[in-house]
Structure 1
Amino acid sequence: MTTTVEAPALGMHDDLTNEAYHADKTSLSSSGARKILPPSCPAKFRHEQDNPPAPTKTFDYGNAAHKTVLGNGPKLILVDHPAWTTKEAKAEVADARAQGGIPLKQHEIDMVDAMADAIRKHPLAAALLDPAYGAPEQSGFWIDGPSGIRRRVRFDWLPSIQGGRLIIPDYKTTTDASNQAMQKDIAKYGYNQQADWYEEGARALGLGGTDAELLLIAQEKKPPYLVNVIGIEFGSRVIGGAKNRAAIEKFAECQATGYWPGYSDDEPNYLSLPGWAENLDKEIYL
């Protein structure tokens, strides 16, 4: 027997679990919008919606850091074995996941605790995530005007003081938080799309008037757990908005038809050499 999950009501939710948020397949999120567009495709997006990927160690570290830094998320459960290859250790890991928790070794718990301490010592990051003036994991749902689809957003942190300009901090863990590395990550992971999505969501949900800006709080996962607070320039956010609009329209089309295309379902894709390779070969052979 199939259980129907009721979609969350439109508007803001301050007590919605992460599982309930992601269970709503009728709405499109920022990460979903990025999954619909190349180099991915709608078929991959739909498959991942129906078949959530298994947790990875990178995923666990990110969630554990979010829990420790932001104060909300799955329980961190110590699995105190030097290796997790024994039957006993595997059983404890499975039990931790069955509880909805994150299994970690002691040195991993020490790592996320040290990361949270470094955030608290960073003047700007600490101010942006001050528990006296905000709350973690706030979810919102709204109707997109041009397409009519349901859209959703889950703010890592939402300030409680929303008079004037709204600054939306979003926490990222990374191996390299330098400006050069993060500039590449903005392109690789579509953080400019995320910025536009969150800012538009804040406006649609009536948060902070019409002036909202997302700031990334990027933190390295190795000592000294350096922090970099990053804004995304306006032009890059405009590009992100255009890509989001393309993803929204494709999602609406796929919802209406029930057809989620892959890379080349109807016609072949004709590809050229990458620009750098073509230029090099032209110099040598043509």
Structure 2
Amino acid sequence: MTTTAEPLDAPAIVPGVYDIPAEVYHADPVPGGSLSSSGARKLLPPSCPARFKWERDNPPPPKKVFEVGTAAHKLVLGTGPELVLVDKARWDTDETKAKVAEIRARGAVPLKRSDWDHVHGMAAALRRHPIASALFAPERGQAEQALLWQDRATGVWRRALLDHLPHPTSGRMVVADYKSTTSSSPATARKTVFNYGYHCQGGWYLDGVEALGLARDPAFVLVMQEKEPPYLITVVQLDHESIQLGRELNRRAIDTYARCVETGHWPGYSDQIELITPPAWAASTHHEEYM
């Protein structure tokens, strides 16, 4: 089902698909709090619950480095913040700083001429790609749909913001997520998936799709596109083993979140003295230089 933003103000939230602004989603629309995929990853090493809670209570301002990715999402998905070209050679003048600050304050994304050209080039390249263009075709589904559901084991509310939610079909549902990156080569793509926890994201999104009865046995793919010409694209599908590994990590994060909420204790990296041993490279260097 699809609802509007109004029911989110009601005392009782019901599981479902919501068409709400991204800023409402990221502010957490569930009274009492919910857990997203990115939040779940923040609960686990190399992060910790204490850092998760701090960042939840003190949300950092948007990082400028992410604005190009946000702009690319806007042009690829057809939804998102307004993009504004600030065609100035220098952004360090008082006049330009004030203009950029005003643009960001109203929720829009300011772009330098080079970034403006890049994101439009990326969108054009994606539209020429036979698979990527089909995955995000407007007639195939709806862009940026929020899923809200409860974890059966703990009662924790979970949420996900899908780049594109396909309409139901007789075939297997393929959930696609768009990522801008420095390299989309297949060898690099595999490292990127596990370095950034995209296998956890895949398991999280598929959990939501299945929990809401939107599809059985859906697949998860990443459309990875480089931010420099010729804006190369690789579409990768996460296999069952990858998704299962992500789901196991997600379960650990959900259980950790539930325990922290119940006890009010959000531990840091460690509550005990940690014994440090030399890494292999340090021991090897020592023996080569002094032995």
TM-score of the aligned structures, taking structure 1 as reference length: 0.91
1:79, CA displacement in angstroms?
A: 1.7
Question: How many angstroms apart in 2 are the aligned matches of 1:8 and 1:109?
Answer: 42
Contact 1:16 1:139 in 2 (8 A): yes
2:25 is aligned, of 21, 24, 33, to 21
Runs of 4+ more than 3 Å apart = 5-8, 161-164, 271-274, 276-286
1:214 is aligned, of 220, 238, 251, to 220
The answer to whether 1:272 aligns with 2:285 is no
Unaligned runs of 5+ in 2: 1-8
1:53, CA displacement in angstroms?
A: 2.1
Q: 1:162-181 alignment to 2 at 5 Å?
A: 162-181=169-188
Question: How many angstroms apart in 2 are the aligned matches of 1:7 and 1:133?
Answer: 33
Contact 1:141 1:152 in 2 (8 A): yes
Q: 1:98-117 alignment to 2 at 5 Å?
A: 98-117=105-124
- Distance change in 2, residues 1:63/1:283 (3 Å): same
1:239: which partner in 2?
245
3-state secondary structure, aligned to 1:197? helix
Between the two proteins, what is the percent identity of the paired residues? 46
1:230: which partner in 2?
236
Contact 2:15 2:150 in 1 (8 A): no
1:261: which partner in 2?
267
Contact 2:85 2:110 in 1 (8 A): yes
Unaligned runs of 5+ in 1: none
Question: How many angstroms apart in 1 are the aligned matches of 2:264 and 2:34?
Answer: 15
The answer to whether 1:159 aligns with 2:166 is yes
Aligned residues: 279
- Distance change in 2, residues 1:77/1:238 (3 Å): same
**2:281 is matched by which residue type in structure 1?**
A
Contact 1:43 1:262 in 2 (8 A): yes
Question: How many angstroms apart in 2 are the aligned matches of 1:102 and 1:8?
Answer: 34
1:192, CA displacement in angstroms?
A: 0.9
- Distance change in 2, residues 1:161/1:21 (3 Å): same
Deviations 1:27-49 (A, max 9, x none): 00111111110000011111111
Deviations 1:176-215 (A, max 9, x none): 011111111112101111111111111001112x211110
2:195 is aligned, of 188, 191, 207, to 188
- Distance change in 2, residues 1:271/1:241 (3 Å): farther
- Distance change in 2, residues 1:57/1:7 (3 Å): farther
C-alpha RMSD over aligned residues: 2.1
